[in-house]
Structure 1
Amino acid sequence: MTTTTLNPPIGRSTLPFVDARHPDRPLEVNCYRPASHGPDDPVVVVQHGMMRNGDDYRDFWIDAAETHNILIVAPTFPNEQFPKAEGYNNGLVVDADGAVAPREQWLYTVPERVLEALRHGAVIGAANTLRMFGHSAGGQFAHRMLATCGPGPFAAVMAGNPGWYTLPTLERRFPEGLGGLGLDDAAVIRWLESPMVILAGDQDIVTDDPNLPSNPEALAQGPNRFGRAHFMLDFARGEAARRGCACHWQLVPVAGIGHDGAAMSRAAAGWWFEGAVPPLDRLQPQGGVVA
């Protein structure tokens, strides 16, 4: 298998990327590389929302990147090549006929290969702390990646304002649960014991957003995204208690913020690199997106 090399220049860049497992579906990697970033400095992989706007999500992180010397890597999955929720949020795990794809074909394995291409380009090294943040559809992607594939190279995974959740149970089929994928109880426990953060805007409470999932499985989790975040954590804690294992998940509310990718990106950066969500006056979007 040919090794791809990525070596983004200083500042903003948009680089073509052909994943070896999906050679007929080209994607892009939007990066921001501070001038002082070295191979052992932090890296944040940012997963965009349903608008497939990885360039915007990269830009939401630029201030934090410069302040904390972070390489921002935003793999961008165009809707034309990766259509609808099945082609992005749900990771191409199950096809239209309900058949489970081979694990190496799941989109959740793509970010790790993007990082390997950056490592091959000597942009990152072996000692980096790697984190993943996803918002909205990207929050669905991030937590489902952790659920199905484990943490892989990531020291931390944060899901911001997902529209609905895959639950940590084998008794419901994917994407409502983890059933039907060949996973076992050990995989569920591994997920529950992973330090996942659910970042939830406390004003993400609209119920008539056309982009809010309204399938019966999603509605069963609550009427809005903020409520569904609480449902998810409560469900996980119940599963952990039933299984006799720990639940290391956190739900971090973001006061005053709704479904806004820019503000939630700032909140995530503050939580990870400053130890707390910044105050509202630092989170207010400057023309942010709603996805």
Structure 2
Amino acid sequence: MTTTTLNPPVGRSVLPFIDRQHPDRPLEVNFYRPARHQPNDPVVVVQHGMLRNGDDYRDFWIEAAEKHNLLIVAPTFPDEPFPKAEGYNNGLLVAEDGAIAPRAQWLYAVPARVLEALRAGGIIDQPLIRIFGHSAGGQFVHRMLATGGGETYAAAMASNPGWYTLPTLERRFPEGLDGLDLDQDALARWLAYPMIIFAGDRDIVTDDPNLPAQPEALAQGPHRYGRAHFMLEFAQAEAARLGAACNWRLITVAGIGHDGAAMSRAAAAYWFEGRIPSIEELKPQDVAVA
């Protein structure tokens, strides 16, 4: 098979990408490449929300990209080839008949294969790579880590997910990890990964039509901010039960609700400046985007 290569130009761009495991499901990748970015300078992979708007999420990171010399890589999973939560947030793991797809077909490896194509194109070599996902993208990121996809990333942040896959082998995926042929060692590796749950403390709306409302989600809390706390507390209890480490952190972004632009700016400042900006810095004239 011919190696896929990606060579985005300087500035904003969008390039088609055919994943070798899903040749009939075309993707796009939105990029921002600063003029001074070199192959071992930092990379941030950004996972969009339910609107499948990788271009917006790429743009949310441009100011930080220029300030900190970051290559922004935003794989975009269009609705038609990747429909509903099952086709994106849940990684195409579960077929309509309830069967679990072969591991090679799970979507959570797609961002890593995009990075392979960038290496093949000479754009990156061995940089530190971080991954950020907001809303549906936050669901994607933490489920990627849960199923063993964290090796590529020096840091990972799940921002304002609507609900969570819990670190337990006793509940069926996507509520837990049962059915995925994972064992307690895999569970311990996920708990040991320094995952950041990034939560806006105003993400407390309970009547949002896009807030998951199935019984398993409601059992985690009435809103996204409450569910973030539930997730961390569940993980800490499970780690204690297993005698394992839990290296997760919940970081609160004060004054911010379900706002992908503001949470992206907060994530960039946290990672590259060691701070969470004030609400005045985070919300300059932006409209919230899911």
TM exceeds 0.5?
yes
Identity between Structure 1 and Structure 2 (%): 74
Contact residue 150 and residue 190 of structure 1 kept, 8 A: no
Matched AA of 1:223: P
- Evaluate the alpha carbon distance shift between residue 111 and residue 261 of structure 1 in structure 2; reply closer, same or farther with a 3 A threshold: same
Cα root mean square deviation, aligned: 0.7
Q: Is residue 157 of structure 1 aligned with residue 143 of structure 2?
A: no
Per the normalisation by structure 1, the TM-score is: 0.99
CA distance in 1: counterparts of 2:130 and 2:228, whole angstroms: 20
Partner residue in 2 for 1:258:
257
Once the two structures are TM-superposed, the CA of residue 285 in structure 1 deviates from its matched residue by 4.8
Contact residue 109 and residue 149 of structure 2 kept, 8 A: no
Contact residue 93 and residue 100 of structure 2 kept, 8 A: yes
Contact residue 222 and residue 231 of structure 1 kept, 8 A: yes
Stretches of structure 1 lacking an aligned partner (at least 5 in a row): none
CA distance in 1: counterparts of 2:184 and 2:47, whole angstroms: 28
Stretches of structure 2 lacking an aligned partner (at least 5 in a row): none
Partner residue in 2 for 1:193:
192
- The superposition leaves residues 208-256 of structure 1 with CA deviations (integer Å, 9 ceiling, x where unpaired) of 0000000000000000000000000000000010011110000000000
CA distance in 2: counterparts of 1:279 and 1:287, whole angstroms: 15
Partner residue in 2 for 1:84:
84
CA distance in 2: counterparts of 1:233 and 1:263, whole angstroms: 22
- Per the alignment, in what secondary structure is the counterpart of residue 133 of structure 2? strand
Give the 5 Å matches for 1:104-115. 104-115=104-115
CA distance in 2: counterparts of 1:173 and 1:216, whole angstroms: 13
CA distance in 2: counterparts of 1:161 and 1:234, whole angstroms: 16
- Per the alignment, in what secondary structure is the counterpart of residue 85 of structure 2? coil
Contact residue 92 and residue 106 of structure 2 kept, 8 A: yes
Once the two structures are TM-superposed, the CA of residue 90 in structure 1 deviates from its matched residue by 0.1
Give the 5 Å matches for 1:219-258. 219-258=218-257
Deviating 4+ runs (over 6 angstroms): none
CA distance in 2: counterparts of 1:286 and 1:73, whole angstroms: 25
Matched AA of 1:91: G
CA distance in 1: counterparts of 2:288 and 2:55, whole angstroms: 12
Matched AA of 1:136: S
Once the two structures are TM-superposed, the CA of residue 174 in structure 1 deviates from its matched residue by 0.4
Matched AA of 2:279: L
- Per the alignment, in what secondary structure is the counterpart of residue 226 of structure 1? helix
Once the two structures are TM-superposed, the CA of residue 2 in structure 1 deviates from its matched residue by 2.3
- The superposition leaves residues 119-157 of structure 1 with CA deviations (integer Å, 9 ceiling, x where unpaired) of 00000002x000000000000000000000231210111
Aligned length: 290
Partner residue in 2 for 1:67:
67
Per the normalisation by structure 2, the TM-score is: 0.99
Once the two structures are TM-superposed, the CA of residue 3 in structure 1 deviates from its matched residue by 1.1
Partner residue in 2 for 1:119:
119
Partner residue in 2 for 1:31:
31
CA distance in 1: counterparts of 2:165 and 2:235, whole angstroms: 11
CA distance in 2: counterparts of 1:102 and 1:149, whole angstroms: 14
Matched AA of 2:155: A
